[in-house]
Structure 1
Amino acid sequence: MSTLSEIVLIAAVIAAGLIAGLFYAYTCSVMPGLARADARTYVTGMREINVAILNGWFALSFGGAPLLAAVAAALHFKSDLRAALPWIIAGFVLLLVMLVVTMAVNVPLNNVLEAGFDGDNTDFEALRSKFEGVWERWNLVRTIAGIGGFGALVGGLIAHVRA
């Protein structure tokens, strides 16, 4: 059981690091870069990013991180490695917050962006103004939650190794 719990916890840490890093990259480079663009470029760029990100690599880290954290918690619950459990549970909760924020706020805003697009007839300024500020604020929330989840899982891994 110890080997399986180690493997799952390490996988959770890696997946959490990947998704936290992705959202961090949005926060410190993608969105500031798009903010410098005109409204047409901003809307078009975000639409293309929203399509491109729907791939297996994204799914592995986005859904995999909280799932693996939950499995790691279950594996640590009835073992002599319980010292890691509070860290792992904290990591799971924070990664769940990241997932819920994404699904409840960011994805619906992505859908608003897509629904409001009408080719050359699009009011790019209006569409951007409905999207940009709110999306970026909630992206920051999910970035912080993702980084916190990653950090907590690292704490869990350290506690696991010390146990």
Structure 2
Amino acid sequence: MIDGPYFVLAVLGALACGLASGAFAAFSTFVMRGLAALPPAQGIAAMNAINVTAVGPWFMAVFLGAAGLCLVLAVVTFVLWPDEGTAGLLIGCALYLVGCFGVTVAANVPRNDALAKVDPQSEEGAAYWRTYVREWTLWNHVRTVASLAATASIILALT
């Protein structure tokens, strides 16, 4: 049974995953479209500035906090296995840790690092920008869906 501190941990995990999903959804639905509409040099400059700002305490507290909560929640859930609701909690934790955190590390961050190295004024920079927007946004969609599904799975495990 999910109760006491375990319940609080699960609720905090769901809230953190939901907040992360909202941030990623904003990028997928309008931020990247707005940046893509700019001339490439301006879009690259704006995205590079966003990438620097994103590593600040507010977003990192949500993004890494959700990962930490999911990791702790998964460990506690393994200890309590097979109590009612534990499968849903594990699925939610796995969705966030792999589909959101893992995708960020393996797909989005390398693209951000590559974008930071291009010359925004060059034709190569403009060409990379078009590829970057398409690929980064695709992987961001994955992060959005994974973190939203993680939120839903954790919430459903609590019901």
Change (3 A) 1:75 1:2: farther
Aligned to 1:12: 13
Which amino acid in the other structure matches residue 106 of structure 2? A
Change (3 A) 1:43 1:80: closer
Question: Counterparts of 1:93 and 1:80 in 2: how far apart (Å)?
Answer: 15
Question: Counterparts of 2:92 and 2:55 in 1: how far apart (Å)?
Answer: 24
* 1:78-109 per-position Cα deviation (integer Å, ceiling 9, x unaligned): 44982121111011111012111111110000
Does the Cα contact within 8 Å between 1:109 and 1:135 map onto a contact in 2?
A: yes
Question: Counterparts of 2:146 and 2:134 in 1: how far apart (Å)?
Answer: 19
Question: Counterparts of 2:118 and 2:157 in 1: how far apart (Å)?
Answer: 44
Question: Counterparts of 1:46 and 1:130 in 2: how far apart (Å)?
Answer: 14
Residue 85 of structure 2 aligns to a residue in which SS? Answer: helix
User: Once superposed, which parts of structure 1, at least 4 consecutive aligned residues long, lie more than 6 Å away?
Assistant: none
Aligned to 2:67: 66
User: Any unmatched runs of 5+ in structure 1?
Assistant: 159-163
Aligned to 1:107: 109
Which amino acid in the other structure matches residue 83 of structure 1? E
- TM-align CA RMSD: 2.2
Question: Counterparts of 1:85 and 1:15 in 2: how far apart (Å)?
Answer: 18
Normalised TM-score (structure 1): 0.86
Aligned to 2:51: 50
Percent identity of equivalent pairs? 29
User: Any unmatched runs of 5+ in structure 2?
Assistant: none
Matched, 1:90 2:78: no
Question: Counterparts of 1:66 and 1:5 in 2: how far apart (Å)?
Answer: 16
Aligned to 1:116: 118
Normalised TM-score (structure 2): 0.88
Does the Cα contact within 8 Å between 1:66 and 1:95 map onto a contact in 2?
A: yes
Question: Counterparts of 1:137 and 1:80 in 2: how far apart (Å)?
Answer: 35
